Amino acid sequence: MSPAFDPQDMILRFRERAEAVKRRGLPPVEGPDRQRFLEAAKIDFQDFAMLGDATATLEDGILRLEIDLRPPQ
């Protein structure tokens, strides 16, 4: 039997993934492939960082992630 799901652990994993994207090196690619790689890394970081900033709740088997996208005051 697997351990109980902890939404906070999931949030921490997304934060770690965002940091890993920031730290990963650039493979030896040139030209358009290099630009595509950089764009994909930017989107990966954005997605992982947003989920890493989410507030997660698990109620009655429903996982809710709340992400405040309003600009800072």
pLDDT in tens, 12-70: 999 999 999 999 888 888 999 999 999 999 999 999 999 999 999 999 989 999 999 99
- What is the C-alpha to C-alpha distance for residues 39 and 71, in angstroms, rounded to an integer? 23
Q: For residue 67, give every residue at least 6 positions away whose Cβ sits within 8 Å of its Cβ, in sequence order, or none.
A: 50, 51, 53, 54, 55
Q: Describe the crossing of helices 31-52 and 7-23 by its angle, rounded to 10 degrees.
A: 150
- What is the C-alpha to C-alpha distance for residues 39 and 21, in angstroms, rounded to an integer? 12
Residue 72 has pLDDT above 90, yes or no: no
Residue 2 has pLDDT above 90, yes or no: no
Could you identify the residue written with the tokens 């990966």?
Answer: 44
Q: What pLDDT is stored for residue 10 in this prediction?
A: 94
Residue 3 has pLDDT above 80, yes or no: no
Helices (H) and strands (E) in the chain, counts: 2, 2
Q: What pLDDT is stored for residue 57 in this prediction?
A: 92
